[in-house]
């Protein structure tokens, strides 16, 4: 079994009286696609927010690649190799597609303001590397033809894909995708599913929030289910699909009552 | 006419030009700017104040300060209502050092810039975590504090200000003179050109992207690995440096400074230049600074009711051109590949 890349231990997140996450344990192994599912408000996005440092967990711990993430700044967590997309698209709308990705590729670059000002060899080289890498990612995701378009003018589906491309720009080990297929028609979902698989096969580990069962069943290695902030299942897609607790959470009725 | 856009027109010419044409455009533009002081006998003449002096202050110094404030407000999206503080620090550095030491203007310049940058960092570290309105209020307060300190402590001569500031020493054998300020204008012009060079360098590379990302969505920027606080402090500090440089020059030009020259009005005026010209676009900002600096001296009645007229003009222009005269609006590359326009 491959090594554990991300580990959540007894993770609890409270917002005032609301317990968004309740003692959640979760392991993501290197090279897998783990789907995180659950009804609206179950706490899925909150998991991403705690991992990426947007919120500090009320209790419990997040360990990534041997590093305890508690108290780290958000950009440092990104630098360690965790990158995410947003459920509600948050691209840099006034930048071009290419610039969106280049902004992300900067995270591992050393040159800063002084290098930029004086055009040091390192700064020039890194600019070149950024550009090449960004084009490579855009090609990989299949949206390189939009490289010079402003992000805000892109078609919806391309924006969703650019979210993924931008996250990949940070050279992450772990990609957190928050409902990347939201608003897609069945055909687009199939295509996106293929892209996500391709991303994983290229060596990334993927933690995927998604609602569409057929998409999940098609691509994920494992499925974890959240309901009201508690993990109620964590197993292979086939097993989870037939778990009465999961069916109850989704349909709102006990499985045996139907 | 409705579709005509001066910014896109200019950008179009630039994009179609080859290397040599670009060099030519730059040289011609700089030459024309440098010849401005000789145009005093034309329609540009100012009725009351000496034309060449007006070109130095307000025009050139406003342009310089607008460029500096634009880094903070336009490029990185932080509303700084206390920009006058750095102008004042530069001016007082020059005033105090030329009073107490034998240093000349050019020796004081780096010290003035350094002092303003130091103040920028000092103010920036605790406050740049704040956003929007809160940052505006804190910076506004800072601007006032600097003025009030200058007004109330004895070592700045309080309300009497500092007089007898030294003229800059000659450059290439040419003396500075009160009745001929061409040389001074050229000095400020060089500062402006240096600033433009610096901003253009920075904006096409990493710092510019970081600022742009911060301006558009600070949280998303941080999550994409941009050390936002660091780049905000840099932005603030560079803006401060330029404000400080403008202050040193202003003191050297005016030879006298006092606290009432550094009121909130100055901050608002420079902000008006930035917004009026085209927030985020250096050419727009230069135009805004030049126009709002120059017009009150050109049209006599305006200078009597400067702020009133400013306010009115701004309200009117902002109604018709909410993004300023030369907006930042970025064009997409003209050549969009076929099929991408689906
Ligand atoms: N910043 C916040 N403040 C208060 N409550 C929040 C906050 N973020 C999330 N919540 C609450 O936490 C619960 C889980 O939200 P979320 O993680 O967005 O659900 P999901 O992504 O699974 O739909 C919801 O009840 C939501 O209202
Ligand atoms: Mg969600």
A2 pLDDT band (50/70/90 cuts)?
confident
The pLDDT value given to residue B302 = 63
Q: Is A79 a residue whose pLDDT tops 60?
A: yes
Question: Kindly report the CA angle at A72 between A68 and A76, in degrees rounded to 5?
Answer: 105
A41, A51, A85: which to mutate for ligand 1, most atoms within 8 A of CB? A41
Q: Distance (Å) from the C-alpha of residue A251 to the closest C-alpha of chain B?
A: 34
Beta strands A59-64; A67-68: pairing state = antiparallel
Across the interface, whether the CB atoms of B332 and A103 are under 8 A apart is answered no
Q: Which residues of A touch B205 (CB under 8 A)?
A: 115-116, 123, 127
Q: Which residues of B touch A52 (CB under 8 A)?
A: 223
Mean pLDDT of A158-162: 97
The pLDDT value given to residue A256 = 53
CA B57 to centroid of ligand 2, rounded, Å: 55
The pLDDT value given to residue B341 = 38
Across the interface, whether the CB atoms of B228 and A75 are under 8 A apart is answered yes
DSSP category for residue A40: T
Name the residue with higher pLDDT: A256 or A80: A80
Q: Is A247 a residue whose pLDDT tops 90?
A: no
The pLDDT value given to residue B3 = 55
Residue among B205, B230, B233 with most chain A CBs within 10 A, to mutate: B205
Q: Is the C-beta atom of A46 inside 6 A of ligand 1? A: yes
Closest in B210, B223, B330 to A52, CB measured: B223
A91 pLDDT band (50/70/90 cuts)?
very high
Single out the residue of A197, A215, A213 nearest to residue A205, CA to CA.
A197
Biggest alpha carbon distance in chain A? 72
Q: Which residues of A touch B332 (CB under 8 A)?
A: 96, 148-150, 153
Q: Taking CB atoms and an 8 Å cut-off, how many pairs form between chains A and B?
A: 109
User: Cβ distance B139 to B124 under 8 Å?
Assistant: no
**B227–A contact, CB cutoff 8 A:** yes
The pLDDT value given to residue A253 = 58
Beta strands A230-235; A222-227: pairing state = antiparallel
Which residue has the CA at smallest separation from atom 9 of ligand 1? A46
User: Cβ distance A125 to A96 under 8 Å?
Assistant: no
Buried b (16+ CB within 10 A) or exposed e, A48-77: bbbbbbbbebeebebbbbeeebeebebbbb
**B334–A contact, CB cutoff 8 A:** no
Mean pLDDT of A21-31: 97
- Structural domains in chain A? 1-81+172-258 (3.40.50.300), 91-171 (no CATH)
CA A216 to centroid of ligand 1, rounded, Å: 22
The pLDDT value given to residue A252 = 67
Mean pLDDT of A138-155: 96
Q: Is the peptide bond before A180 cis (omega within 30 degrees of 0)?
A: no
If DSSP codes are grouped into helix, strand and coil, which group holds residue B280? coil
Euclidean distance between CA atoms B38 and B49, whole angstroms: 15
**B236–A contact, CB cutoff 8 A:** no
pLDDT in tens, chain B (342 residues): 445 677 878 888 888 888 999 999 999 999 999 999 998 777 788 877 889 889 999 999 999 999 999 999 999 999 999 999 999 999 999 999 999 998 999 999 999 999 999 999 999 999 898 887 899 999 999 999 999 999 999 999 999 999 989 899 988 888 888 888 899 999 999 999 999 999 999 999 999 999 999 999 999 999 999 999 999 999 999 999 999 999 999 999 999 999 999 999 999 999 999 998 989 999 999 999 999 888 888 876 666 676 777 778 778 877 888 888 888 866 665 444 333 333
Euclidean distance between CA atoms A60 and A25, whole angstroms: 9
Single out the residue of B70, B42, B44, B63 nearest to residue B287, CA to CA.
B63
Across the interface, whether the CB atoms of B330 and A94 are under 8 A apart is answered yes
Domain boundaries, chain B: 49-263
User: Cβ distance A41 to A48 under 8 Å?
Assistant: no
The pLDDT value given to residue B125 = 92
Q: Distance (Å) from the C-alpha of residue B41 to the closest C-alpha of chain A?
A: 40
Beta-carbon contacts of B224 under 8 Å, excluding residues fewer than 6 positions away, are: A78, A83, A103, A104, A107, A166, A167, A169, A170, B213
Ligand 1 atom nearest the C-alpha of A55 is 1
Q: Is the C-beta atom of A15 inside 6 A of ligand 1? A: yes
Across the interface, whether the CB atoms of B225 and A75 are under 8 A apart is answered yes
User: Cβ distance A144 to B229 under 8 Å?
Assistant: no
Across the interface, whether the CB atoms of A96 and B332 are under 8 A apart is answered yes
Q: Which residues of A touch B222 (CB under 8 A)?
A: 73-75
Euclidean distance between CA atoms B282 and A245, whole angstroms: 61
Q: Is the C-beta atom of A41 inside 6 A of ligand 1? A: yes
Strand partners, A174: A82, A205
Distance (Å) of CA A220 to CA A2, A206, B177: 16, 9, 78
User: Cβ distance A231 to A222 under 8 Å?
Assistant: no
Q: Is A46 a residue whose pLDDT tops 80?
A: yes
Single out the residue of A88, A242, A91 nearest to residue A167, CA to CA.
A91
Q: Which residues of B touch A117 (CB under 8 A)?
A: 198, 201-202
Rg (alpha carbons) of chain A, rounded to whole number: 19
Instruction: Give the number of other Cβ atoms within 10 Å of residue A94's Cβ.
Output: 17
Euclidean distance between CA atoms B149 and B128, whole angstroms: 23
Buried b (16+ CB within 10 A) or exposed e, A116-133: bbeeeeebeebbeebbeb
Q: Is the C-beta atom of A11 inside 6 A of ligand 1? A: no
Euclidean distance between CA atoms B172 and B242, whole angstroms: 25
Across the interface, whether the CB atoms of B234 and A83 are under 8 A apart is answered no
Across the interface, whether the CB atoms of A95 and B210 are under 8 A apart is answered no
The pLDDT value given to residue A129 = 96
Beta strands A230-235; A59-64: pairing state = unpaired
For A115-131, the pLDDT digits (tens) are: 999 999 999 999 999 99
């Amino acid at each position: 079994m491959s090594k554990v890349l991300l580990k959540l231990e007894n993770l609890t997140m409270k917002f005032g009286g609301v317990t968004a996450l309740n003692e959640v344990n979760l392991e993501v192994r290197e090279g897998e696609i783990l789907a995180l599912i659950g009804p609206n408000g179950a706490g899925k996005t909150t998991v991403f927010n705690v991992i990426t440092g947007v919120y500090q967990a009320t209790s419990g711990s997040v360990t990534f690649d041997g590093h305890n993430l508690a108290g780290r700044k958000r950009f440092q967590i990104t630098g360690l190799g965790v990158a995410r997309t947003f459920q509600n698209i948050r691209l840099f709308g006034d930048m071009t597609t290419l610039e969106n990705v280049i902004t992300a590729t900067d995270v591992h670059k050393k040159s800063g303001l002084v290098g930029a000002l004086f055009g040091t060899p390192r700064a020039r080289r890194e600019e070149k590397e950024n550009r090449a890498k960004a084009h490579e990612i855009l090609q990989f995701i299949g949206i390189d033809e939009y490289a010079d378009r402003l992000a805000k003018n892109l078609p919806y589906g391309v924006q969703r894909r650019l979210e993924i491309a931008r996250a990949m720009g940070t050279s992450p080990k772990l990609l957190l995708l928050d409902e990347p297929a939201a608003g897609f028609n069945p055909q687009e979902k199939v295509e996106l599913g293929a892209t996500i698989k391709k991303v994983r096969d290229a060596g990334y580990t993927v933690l995927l929030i998604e609602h569409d069962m057929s998409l999940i069943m098609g691509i994920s290695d494992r499925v974890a289910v959240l309901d009201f902030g508690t993990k109620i299942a964590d197993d292979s897609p086939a097993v989870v699909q037939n778990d009465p607790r999961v069916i109850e959470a989704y349909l709102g009725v006990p499985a045996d009552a139907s | 006419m409705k579709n005509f856009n001066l910014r896109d027109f200019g950008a179009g010419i630039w994009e179609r030009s080859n290397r040599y044409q670009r060099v030519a455009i730059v040289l011609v533009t700089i030459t024309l700017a440098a010849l401005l002081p000789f145009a005093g006998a034309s329609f540009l003449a100012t009725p009351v104040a000496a034309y060449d002096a007006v070109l130095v202050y307000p025009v050139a110094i406003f342009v310089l300060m607008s460029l500096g404030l634009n880094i903070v407000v336009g490029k990185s999206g932080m509303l700084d209502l206390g920009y006058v503080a750095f102008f004042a620090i530069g001016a007082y550095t020059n005033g105090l050092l030329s009073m107490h030491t034998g240093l000349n203007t050019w020796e004081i310049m780096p010290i003035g810039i350094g002092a303003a940058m130091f103040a920028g960092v000092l103010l920036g570290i605790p406050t740049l975590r704040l956003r929007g309105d809160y940052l505006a209020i804190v910076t506004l307060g800072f601007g006032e504090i600097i003025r009030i300190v200058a007004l109330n402590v004895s070592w700045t001569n309080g309300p009497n200000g500092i007089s007898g500031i030294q003229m800059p020493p000659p450059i290439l054998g040419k003396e500075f003179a009160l009745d001929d300020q061409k040389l001074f204008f050229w000095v400020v012009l060089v500062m402006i050109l240096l600033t433009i060079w610096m901003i253009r360098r920075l904006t096409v590379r990493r710092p510019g992207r970081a600022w742009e990302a911060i301006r558009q969505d600070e949280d998303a920027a941080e999550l994409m690995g941009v050390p936002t606080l660091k780049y905000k402090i840099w932005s603030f500090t560079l803006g401060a440096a330029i404000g400080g440089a403008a202050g040193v020059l202003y003191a050297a030009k005016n030879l006298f400074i006092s606290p009432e020259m550094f009121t909130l009005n100055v901050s608002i005026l420079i902000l008006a230049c930035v917004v009026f010209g085209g927030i985020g676009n250096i050419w727009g900002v230069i135009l805004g600074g030049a126009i709002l600096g120059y017009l009150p001296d050109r049209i006599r009645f305006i200078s009597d009711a400067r702020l009133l007229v400013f306010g009115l003009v701004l309200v009117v222009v902002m109604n018709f051109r909410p993004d300023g005269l030369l907006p930042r609006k970025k064009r997409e590359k003209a050549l969009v590949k076929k099929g991408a326009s689906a």
